[in-house]
Amino acid sequence: MTVIGQGNTAGNGGQAEPIDFGSAAFRTDPWPAYASARRDRPVWWSDRLGQLCVVRHADVMRVLTDPVFTVEYPFKRTRQAFGETLLDIDGARHLAQRRAAQHLLGFEGVAAAVAGLAPGIIGATISGLPAGRPVDAVAALAEPIARGVIRGLFGIDAETGDRLARHLSRVSRYIETADVDLGDVVEDRRALEAEIGRLIDEGLSPRPAALALRVQRMASELERTQLMRLMLLMMAAGVETPLSAIANALAVLLDHRHLIDRLAVEPSLADSFALEVMRFQPPQHDTTRFVRGHTMLGGIEVRRGISVRVFLASANRDESVFQAADRFDPERFLPGRPPVPVLSFGAGRHACPGRPLASAIIAEALRRLAGGFQDIRPAEDCDPTITGEGFRRPQRLTLVLDPRRRPATASLPGAAVA
């Protein structure tokens, strides 16, 4: 039996690792490597990563939900960047912060809050796009929508939002690549905490009350530092996740341009399309847990202290769970369809509480984009390749948008699945 533990981490028996994480092929198209690993070696030790790797849905779900696996580790980049947050603590402290996050982002009215911001932020951004001329949709559409919605939800003015974004950019880069000096990151975090503290003290705008007033209420339930870091974390993730997901949705839409009219007139299709994008091309491919006690995983004995990397993206394409897993199906999550366990937002006690918010932003952006434009074409220099370290998306997506000259109608053929 293979044993993975402190002082005994080789565990490969002379075999080559099933995934070459440093290869250009994996960075640009990881799906064949994931499929091969799921089939042949779903759990293995990676010398390159210094972690146990897990790619099958059942094993990933086990790591995410079994208490023998924990997020607690004092040298995680997220803790170094943000300080202690719900990302890297368990137990009572985690529950307190999670309740606050769910109160802020996971409540039922979040879709309505996004819809309330849509005309002024999502609608204005989309209506301002140039028609018939090439435009980088990442910089001109995905990023302004993601940043604008988060500013609006927290009641932050544009000038303050720009200051926060400048500091957040270096913090986020450190988490992704660690090629930024940690001392500079700590300075940025302190500046961010000062800005957020001022916002709390002065009172966030009551419009929209959906989130801003809830932050005020949470101030009495969390210590000040906890509240500031929780808000900092939510602002960072609340920008990067929708930004990458909108960009990925546009890249997928280029292969499904026949759906544009349906997206304009069928709200439920936009919701399903958004969730399927999160399954098919998730912004984040993996996350890490740590073993707090000896256990078995995929037929391998794993000892305390080992770091485990679970590949959420691979689990989302597991053929044993998802029918036609490598095919994009925009109707997969339509109302009435059997629920399927997508793991892009994790699972269990550390599942991301921002899923309703991210999904609502993506769906609303798709509906309004399709409502204003009848076709979305790649420009000559368009590169829809989805790449990245932490968050994956097209880095530049140059599109030509053809304006809609007449309203789309509901009498459209059913969606083809390709």
Residue 78, pLDDT above cutoff 90? no
Written as one letter, the residue type at 254 is L
Instruction: Please tell me the number of Cα atoms within 13 Å of 347 on its side-chain side.
Output: 21
Residue by residue, DSSP assigns 48-79 as: TTTEEEE-SHHHHHHHHH-TTEE---TT-HHH
Written as one letter, the residue type at 320 is S
Reported confidence tier of residue 390, pLDDT bands at 50, 70, 90: confident
Reported confidence tier of residue 157, pLDDT bands at 50, 70, 90: confident
Domain ranges for the chain? 3-10+19-155+241-389
Mean pLDDT of 263-287: 94
Residue 379, pLDDT above cutoff 90? yes
The neighbouring-strand residues paired with 3 are 301
What tokens were used for 250?
A: 């546009």
Answer with the residue of higher pLDDT: 182 or 344.
344
Which pLDDT score is estimated for 415?
Answer: 38
Give the CA radius of gyration of the chain. Answer: 22
**Which tens digit of pLDDT belongs to each residue from 348-360?**
999 888 888 888 8
The neighbouring-strand residues paired with 297 are 300
Return d(Cα 49, Cα 72) in angstroms, integer.
Answer: 18
**Which tens digit of pLDDT belongs to each residue from 205-259?**
544 444 555 565 666 667 778 888 888 888 888 888 999 999 999 999 999 999 9
Least confident of 42-51, 157-166, 285-294: 157-166
Which pLDDT score is estimated for 289?
Answer: 95
Least confident of 1-5, 102-106, 170-174: 1-5
Residue by residue, DSSP assigns 200-238 as: HHH---SSSHHHHHHHHHHTTTS-HHHHHHHHHHHHHHH
> Which DSSP category does 322 fall into?
S
Reported confidence tier of residue 93, pLDDT bands at 50, 70, 90: confident
Mean pLDDT of 306-332: 97
Interacting residues of 383 by C-beta distance below 8 A, sequence separation 6+: 394, 395, 396, 397, 398
Return d(Cα 418, Cα 408) in angstroms, integer.
Answer: 22
Pick the CATH number of 3-10+19-155+241-389 from 1.10.630.10, 3.40.50.2300, 2.40.10.10, 1.10.1040.10: 1.10.630.10
Least confident of 23-32, 142-151, 214-223: 214-223
Residue 162, pLDDT above cutoff 80? yes
Q: Which residue's structure tokens are 């580790």?
A: 73
Q: How many other C-beta atoms are found inside a 10 Å radius of the C-beta of residue 32?
A: 12
Return d(Cα 6, Cα 101) in angstroms, integer.
Answer: 35
Interacting residues of 308 by C-beta distance below 8 A, sequence separation 6+: 51, 52, 53, 54, 63, 69, 288, 289, 290, 291, 297, 302
Reported confidence tier of residue 5, pLDDT bands at 50, 70, 90: low
CB 370 within 8 A of CB 408: yes
SS3 state of residue 168? helix
Return d(Cα 79, Cα 72) in angstroms, integer.
Answer: 10
Which pLDDT score is estimated for 304?
Answer: 93
Whether the bond between 208 and the residue before it is cis, its omega within 30 degrees of 0, is yes
Closest CA to 121 of 104, 142, 90: 142
End-to-end alpha carbon distance in the chain: 43
Residue 416, pLDDT above cutoff 50? no
Mean pLDDT of 360-369: 92
Mean pLDDT over each residue of the chain, to the nearest integer? 85
CB 174 within 8 A of CB 236: no
Q: How many other C-beta atoms are found inside a 10 Å radius of the C-beta of residue 6?
A: 9
